Amino acid sequence: MITTYFEVIQFGFSLLFGVALSVCYAGIELTHKNNFAIGCSCVVFLLVQFSCWWLLGLDLTSKLYPLITHLPLILFLTIYFKRAWLVSSVSVLSAYLCCQVPRWVSIAVGTISSSELVEYICYIITVFLTY
């Protein structure tokens, strides 16, 4: 049961990491207004993820992740921040690729330790180090 909670926490940190990188890659200026909008979008994305996890289960939520997070983030960068759709798409996809480094490290550590819990904790730590 505790591993499920850490997996959900991993989803949250992955989201925050991805949004932060996407915003940086898209060249968004970090004003108070923009920070508030980005923070609100993160809260909405987290609520959507949590709702999907609660209603559909963690496995299906992870499979739907591009539809419930990446696509809305691309639309948010394009519509709210008025970035070209190509810039928004490349920003989100580049951030996604950066999220793979912590995943690879955590998978390696999880395999060596034979523990899912260690894998999730390692991912969370590696996200901070990668950022």
What's the CA gap between 57 and 98, in Å, rounded? 26
**Domains: count for the chain:** 1
The span from the first CA to the last CA of the chain, in angstroms, equals 28
CA 91 to chain centre: 13
Range of the domain at 56: 2-130
Q: What is the pLDDT of residue 75?
A: 97
Q: What is the mean pLDDT of residues 6-16?
A: 85
pLDDT value at 43 more than 90: yes
What's the CA gap between 15 and 10, in Å, rounded? 8
Q: What is the mean pLDDT of residues 9-18?
A: 87
Residue 90: partners with Cβ closer than 8 Å, 6 or more residues away: 25
Global pTM reads 0.86
Question: What size, in residues, is the chain?
Answer: 131
Residue that is written with structure tokens 């989201």 in the block? 15
The two tokens of residue 43 are 């809260």
pLDDT value at 11 more than 90: no
Compute the Cα dihedral for 12, 13, 17, 23 and give only its sign: positive
Q: What is the mean pLDDT of residues 29-35?
A: 95
